[in-house]
Structure 1
């Protein structure tokens, strides 16, 4: 983060919060848009009151009617998913739920390399030839207008469940369930694909008067929501909080194996460890091979089956890490070879398609620019995009829709494909859009800091109080504090290469232990002078010993 800007929240704290909570906690709650004690209690509880009625989802009634009809008549149902972790978990949720209701349901996840994202006419024809009569999409399909028209002509009914932004034309499906539809009455729009699938299954069980197998479905929903970097606010807060409980108590055989390979411990899983260690392993299947391996792991019935599948995913994840490093270095060299632009547009004929998004994400993080990485492959160019706050990459791509074959995504992540001969025009047009929209922005990352605090204020049970804000993730980051003029009477380098520093920090007679990961070289240039530090409070659990410490994410010399 060195070289970024610090922005300390300075909005007014509502009087009601100031009376009900200590000053730092009241400030943190206010920063999250909470206005009074009632809202605070609901946020901190994160319970079922945040869960909305699935019958408010658009088209839920015709979807239920068609699914019940298929179950009663013994039709063959196929759940058509996506190859990322959200799509895999959504597929597992829907297939598991349907089977529990007595449906003849099976999964179909397209191959990233040979088929690409979303509903494909050729795949639908193949499914119809195999005797499928009802297709339920999960985490895809909201813009598959032509494909659904083609499906109708071959006798396939389609129900769409998705969470991506709808296009200008609503697909002519039996039902189009997406909380982002402009006519949706569902009060929470930020469900993941897994979250939408869970709500549909919840409605189906409720309609048949059967108890929902909540535990396994909620752990899958939590995993998909975290992996897709959905905001952990509103209903997502409840879904993830409940899902993490089940993941920590008794995870399914497949997830148990992923947790073990990630060197995590059931009982101590948090949203951040799922995001950094579990989700990438599940994603690895679809990045380098076929994502059905991830689905099979999630639905494995025994520990022995799960162990074999998890070992395969682990090998793919190691290869994914190697390829990511290789192509990030190549892309970085290309960026550094010319003046830095508002938008980074990198072409590479060799970069594996499943790695494009990872490379774009690393470039965006390092250079703080929207980044697009394109693979040229014969008659088609395929791209993955990552962006920064203040630049909606999907909206930018939408303005270039006349040049594209397929596209879609979120504000911060998207993908598209087009004919290679249109690449120069597309690159120029997107560059102009970025130059115009980013001209007024200072293109360096901003640390949003919750409050300025003295080291003395960090005691008195504050850490336990902060834990009630969890689960932490997108939209609800761990609280960040800044403390000024902190002395460092003692420090030592740790780690294999001495890249990290362990510090003793003092201010006004109060002493804390601190850790600064990957900052040793820069920090040593300033020490022993006093520092201004930005940090989280965290519990270090090393060798079974718990130590509360400051995790320093940035620093500057004190003025």
Structure 2
């Protein structure tokens, strides 16, 4: 991996300088401090955090459009109409369609599953697919994880006599499509208390209401594993209702896996009892997403719906092979992007090249945004149009910046942190200049150094077994509920060696007092090291599954005395 000259060192900042004073009495000190840093300062709050099933259950009928959606789907089922289930080609879209299909079939629904081809059709609802589904006999089209921006496509469906229901969670545009119902927790008129459901979470709550409306018992355990999978892999924030969904989903997986997940567990070398949010995000999710990135997402959908172990095994092996190809292509594309960018210090990265697979540009954008700490857009340049994937950094709403330039775009959509668009090649230079100007207005021409929020400073030698257990109980961790982050100063670095296919990670051994810890520092093979170091770290289960190791988020020589800032 090429070193990036002048890459600024991350800042360390204490999340809450007074957390140690506000911790819950009689809790292990470090656990109490970390909880207080996250705003949890009473036993009642801690009970809800550790036991999310105790939280009140929201009424899904408060989601705008839900009543109309239920009414129309009941009509379709009772009238023997054909329902087309149309999902995005990522894991959230795939699991949404799988949940809807498995939930609607027992109610007597006649369903057609449809996921667009990333390469031939692109993201979201498209006119050709609408026409095809109508010709296949569909009377009702239910979109999942897409559709909220599809004004033209929904109007076309209506012209063909095809009703549309939208189940989505993406940013809501100024004009809603003329659908029978647009169920989206991000709608400005939504009274629903939680607006961060993934699309599969919306589909899951939709089924809950539908079953109640049809006087049928709803077996949450049959769907919550898929709801958890889509929620984690789509990087939805893991607090409030999402924490409940993921906690219950992981508990269900640990009891037993559906055939598709069992096959993926085997090819990834993961025991079911070790399933965690991290497993879903880094072992299961990438393999499923590889289908839509390099081939067709139907492979992942068929796997989730597999009814026997042989079929599941064959599909899982296909996904594992595609994932290896995806990894190799991503590394090549990332190196090419870095070469094109050189030492550019623009506040927003926008880079394009011919021959890049549209399926991996999002992964490259994510790597660039993380490495250079600025919004990144990577485009696969075609003969006339280019397809883009964008990833942002905290404090910059990438989808709003893109939407400002919609007059230059063919299509666009996404979230504050991730978005995509299609642009004609003659507009590329103009679009880049305008987006860079927007970023400079909001971020300045000198983007802030990457900031690592630290929950508490602690001696490695002072961590007790009770505190380690308490910190590990913060799971499920991910977006919106990061693993507890600690700073340990002056630890002895006993060993450090590069590992990984690109030799860009560090396998570490550190010692503090009588205790020696194993650790891994991802993408930090170029870190400056010394005999004594300060480390910012989280705890994780080690790869062998028989203990706990350090995930080192940043490392610095102790003599540098990098400050721990107060917010």
Structure 1: gaps of 5 or more residues: none
**Residues 117 and 549 of structure 1: is their aligned pair in 2 closer, same or farther, counting only changes over 3 Å?**
closer
Provide the aligned length of Structure 1 versus Structure 2.
551
Pairing 1:531–2:537 present: no
CA distance in 2, matches of 1:519, 1:188: 35
Contact 1:125 1:151 in 2 (8 A): yes
Post-superposition offset of 1:411: 1.1
User: 2:517 pairs with 509, 513, 518, which one?
Assistant: 513
The CA deviation string for residues 260-315 of structure 1, in whole angstroms up to 9 with x for no partner, is: 11111111111012101110100011111111111011000100111111122122
**Residues 523 and 228 of structure 1: is their aligned pair in 2 closer, same or farther, counting only changes over 3 Å?**
closer
Pairing 1:275–2:281 present: yes
The CA deviation string for residues 66-100 of structure 1, in whole angstroms up to 9 with x for no partner, is: 11111011000011110011100001011111112
CA distance in 1, matches of 2:303, 2:218: 22
User: 1:373 pairs with 367, 370, 378, which one?
Assistant: 378
CA distance in 2, matches of 1:246, 1:380: 44
* Alignment TM-score, normalising by the size of structure 1: 0.94
Let me know the Cα RMSD of the aligned residues: 2.2
Contact 1:535 1:551 in 2 (8 A): yes
CA distance in 1, matches of 2:427, 2:149: 22
User: 1:285 pairs with 291, 296, 306, which one?
Assistant: 291
- The structure with higher relative contact order (CA 8 Å, sep 6+) is 2
Contact 1:128 1:154 in 2 (8 A): yes
Q: Which deviates the most, 11-20 or 53-62?
A: 11-20
Post-superposition offset of 1:113: 0.7
The CA deviation string for residues 98-156 of structure 1, in whole angstroms up to 9 with x for no partner, is: 11211111211111111111111221111111111000110011111121111111100
2:391 matched residue in structure 1 = 386
Contact 2:375 2:391 in 1 (8 A): yes
- 1:199-238, aligned counterparts within 5 Å? 199-238=205-244
User: 1:408 pairs with 413, 416, 419, which one?
Assistant: 413
**Residues 25 and 441 of structure 1: is their aligned pair in 2 closer, same or farther, counting only changes over 3 Å?**
farther
The CA deviation string for residues 154-191 of structure 1, in whole angstroms up to 9 with x for no partner, is: 10000111000110012111111000001111111000
User: 2:425 pairs with 420, 426, 444, which one?
Assistant: 420
CA distance in 1, matches of 2:20, 2:49: 16
Structure 2: gaps of 5 or more residues: 1-6, 560-567
SS state at 2:154 partner: helix
The CA deviation string for residues 524-558 of structure 1, in whole angstroms up to 9 with x for no partner, is: 8411xx3222122334363x6x3344333322222
- 1:461-480, aligned counterparts within 5 Å? 461-480=466-485
SS state at 2:322 partner: helix
**Residues 316 and 173 of structure 1: is their aligned pair in 2 closer, same or farther, counting only changes over 3 Å?**
same
Post-superposition offset of 1:522: 5.6
2:547 matched residue in structure 1 = 547
* Alignment TM-score, normalising by the size of structure 2: 0.92
CA distance in 2, matches of 1:91, 1:40: 35
Pairing 1:165–2:167 present: no
CA distance in 2, matches of 1:202, 1:147: 28
Contact 1:393 1:412 in 2 (8 A): yes
2:83 matched residue in structure 1 = 77
Contact 2:142 2:166 in 1 (8 A): yes
Contact 1:501 1:520 in 2 (8 A): no
